[in-house]
Amino acid sequence: MKSYTGKTVEEALEEASKELGIAVDELIYSVSDKKKGIFNKKLIVDVYDLSDVIKYAEDYILNVTDSLGIESSVNSRLDDDIIRITIDSTHNPILIGKNGKTLQALNELVKLATSNYFKKRFRILLDINGYKDNKYDRLNHVARKCAREVQKTKATYTFDPMPADERRAIHNACSGMNHIRTESIGEGTHRQVQIIYVE
């Protein structure tokens, strides 16, 4: 982390951009409420790199699990601009929840807290004991099976609403299949994937 000062946030970010050689819109930062001096008031903007973002997300997860009385550890890696964080705890099934709902909620909390703190959106994906990878494998199998059925019947198949990462798994599973197109429909938590027959 490095701090920059300016009369405005924009001024401080311009200074950081020049010094670091990074475009302003690509900077990861937070604005400190501290001011310098009595008459010469300036904002302090803290500029971070990606390792600071990952550390913040990890600490957030550990604080949440600690407050639940669950001892846990985290391991992170960056994969195609996605911060993948694996959690291992003394109570993995509790953190996963029924049909992965608790894990999904924790994922949303971490993503929102991190993006809010750094004023930038990040793609963060949590997993516990390979739960997500297993789910992607099952979705891949189901999606291809449904797509083959759509190829035969030419009738559109619509999945139940699911999170973005699971919808992406279905899109990927069906890409390249003959006469098959996928698209997401709906808004927010009601977004669904459709498998559609095309001539």
pLDDT tens by residue, 156-180: 999 999 988 899 999 999 999 999 9
CB 106 within 8 A of CB 126: yes
* Residue 188 pLDDT: 85
Q: What is the DSSP letter of 96?
A: H
Residue 81 has pLDDT above 90, yes or no: no
Neighbouring-strand partners of residue 34: none
Residue 1: pLDDT band (50, 70, 90) is confident
CB 117 within 8 A of CB 52: no
Q: Is 116 helix (H, G, I), strand (E, B) or coil?
A: helix
- How confident is the model over 22-69, as pLDDT tens digits? 888 888 888 876 665 556 667 888 888 888 999 999 999 999 999 999
